[in-house]
Structure 1
Amino acid sequence: MNAYIFPGQGAQFSGMGVDLFEASGLAQDLFHQANDILGFKITDIMFEGEAEDLKQTKVTQPAIFLHSVILSKVLGDTFQPDMVAGHSLGELSALVANGTLNFEDGLRLVSQRALAMQKACELQPSTMAAVLGLEDHVVEEVCATINGIVVAANYNCPGQLVISGDIPAIEAACEALKEKGARRALVLPVGGAFHSPLMEPAREELATAIENTTFNTPNCPIYQNVSTTAIIDPSEIKKNLMAQLTAPVKWTQSMQQMIADGATNFIEVGPGKVLQGLMRKIDRNVTASSAVLPE
């Protein structure tokens, strides 16, 4: 079975999407539509902007979404998912790809998500850190002993867990985790504590937008970050998407469940190869590759 997976923030690069734009009239139409919906020329930043320009949250999230979704549409009849999943932001790309959301609504939600997260980041200084070389339960136990807010945020693959919280708590957790034997505990260059309780103001704002958006019955199941199981009920998809900003991304668990449910071939749709790298650490017995433009 074919599982299509969609990357999240961090996969952006200067020049992203140019090949799509040049290869397809459909892609050109969708990029022009995106410029109109967003109210600024995101194509200029994606195609010609510097890495620094792409780092702005209001640009990064729509840029990655557009690259992923437009590629899935340009693939045409060769895009035949049996199941889909997306890492954090990528969940919205996956929901457009499997027909739960239309392109316009998906892009509006991504834009609202980015702006709401930016506002939440400005309310309290906060950050995230990558922890390598410890079992998940050890990281969880250490975080529970730290004063302040620090939680497990991204279960990326065995031995790689990202924590999220206020800056003093993250710094204290990193020291404690190194003492526990972490190979690395490294503060990440991000704007805030994503997938933690500190994103509650953004969750509330996004929940209202999600509530007012039409969700259709998808043409294949999505394995959501919050639940990790196959979901096709639109009301359940909505509920899980609302919870996503303050809950951890259970990527390892989602991929393991997809494999248990019959996925043997994972195709990453969008910029970069981050998810393929994670898959090699989750299970080397499945194939993982990038979606490529048709000749």
Structure 2
Amino acid sequence: MKAYVFPGQGAQYVGMGKDVYDNNPMAKELFEKANEILGFRITDLMFEGTDEDLKQTKVTQPAIFLHSVILSKTLGNEFQPEMVAGHSLGEFSALVAAGALSFEDGLRLVYQRAMAMQKACEIKPSTMAAIVGLEDSVVEEVCNAIDDVVVAANYNCPGQLVISGTFEGIDKACDLLKEKGAKRALKLPVGGAFHSPLMEPARAELAEAIENTRFDIPVCPVYQNVDAKPQTDPANIKANLVSQLTAPVRWTQTVQNMLADGANHFTEIGPGKVLQGLIKKVDRSAQTDGVSQLQ
């Protein structure tokens, strides 16, 4: 079975999407529509901005969403997903690609999400760190024992878990996890503690926007981050999207469930190759490829 997966924050790069804009009239129209909806020319920042421009959450999230979704639309009849999933922000790309959300509504929600997350980061300075080389249970145990906000945030693949929390909590956790034998405990260059209780203000803000947005039944199951299970019911999809901001991304479990349900070919649509690498670490025999430029 053919599965399509969509990347999240961190995959951005200067120049992303320019070949699509320049060579596909339908894509150019969608990019221009996005500029109108957002109220600024995000295409200028994507094509000719700086790394610093693209690192701003309010730019990064819609930029990656646009690159992924517009690329999927340029595939035309070739795009026949039997299941889809997206990593964090990528879940919105997956939902639009699978027809659960319109392009316009998806972009508006992504932008609202980005702005709400930016605000939450400013309320309480916080960060994330990648932990490599330990069992998930060991990382969870250490996080639970710390008297501060620090939680498991992204279950990326066996032996790689990202934790999220206050600066103090993350520092304590990194020291303890190195003592436990972690190969790496590396703080990430992110704006805040995504997928942790510190995103509660953003969750509350986004909940209203999601509730007021129309969701349709997708053309195929969408495996969501919160429970790693296939969803087609719009009410469940909405509830999981709201929970996603403060809950961990269960990517390892998502890939395992997709494989168990018959996925044998994963195509990553959007910038970078991160998800292809993570899928291979879950199952070396899985067939992976990517679409990051106009075909």
Tell me the TM-score normalized by structure 1. 0.99
Question: Which residue matches 1:203?
Answer: 203
Question: Which residue matches 1:113?
Answer: 113
Aligned-partner Cα distance in 1 for 2:165–2:172: 11
Residue 292 of structure 1, CA deviation: 5.9
Residue 293 of structure 1, CA deviation: 5.4
Residue 96 (structure 1) aligned with residue 91 (structure 2) = no
Question: Which residue matches 2:253?
Answer: 253
Q: C-alpha offsets along residues 84-106 of structure 1, whole Å, 9 cap, x if unaligned?
A: 00000000000000000000000
Aligned-partner Cα distance in 2 for 1:189–1:242: 25
Q: Confirm or deny: 8 A CA contact 2:270 2:292 kept in the other structure.
A: no
Question: Which residue matches 1:147?
Answer: 147
Residue 230 of structure 1, CA deviation: 0.8
User: Secondary structure of 2:255's match?
Assistant: helix
Q: C-alpha offsets along residues 26-49 of structure 1, whole Å, 9 cap, x if unaligned?
A: 000000000000000000000111
User: Secondary structure of 1:163's match?
Assistant: strand
Aligned-partner Cα distance in 1 for 2:100–2:253: 22
Q: Number of paired residues?
A: 295
Aligned-partner Cα distance in 2 for 1:110–1:78: 26
Question: Which residue matches 1:75?
Answer: 75
Q: C-alpha offsets along residues 109-153 of structure 1, whole Å, 9 cap, x if unaligned?
A: 000000000000000111000000000000000111111000000
Runs (4 or more) in structure 1 with deviation over 4 Å come to: 292-295
Residue 167 of structure 1, CA deviation: 0.7
Task: Report matched runs for 1:277-288 at 5 Å.
Answer: 277-288=277-288
Gapped regions of structure 1 (runs ≥ 5): none
Q: C-alpha offsets along residues 172-222 of structure 1, whole Å, 9 cap, x if unaligned?
A: 000000000000111111110000000000000000000000000110000
Residue 23 of structure 1, CA deviation: 2.0
Aligned-partner Cα distance in 1 for 2:108–2:207: 13
Tell me the TM-score normalized by structure 2. 0.99
Q: Confirm or deny: 8 A CA contact 2:195 2:248 kept in the other structure.
A: yes
User: Secondary structure of 2:185's match?
Assistant: strand
- C-alpha RMSD of the superposition: 0.8
Gapped regions of structure 2 (runs ≥ 5): none
1:15 aligned partner, one-letter code: G
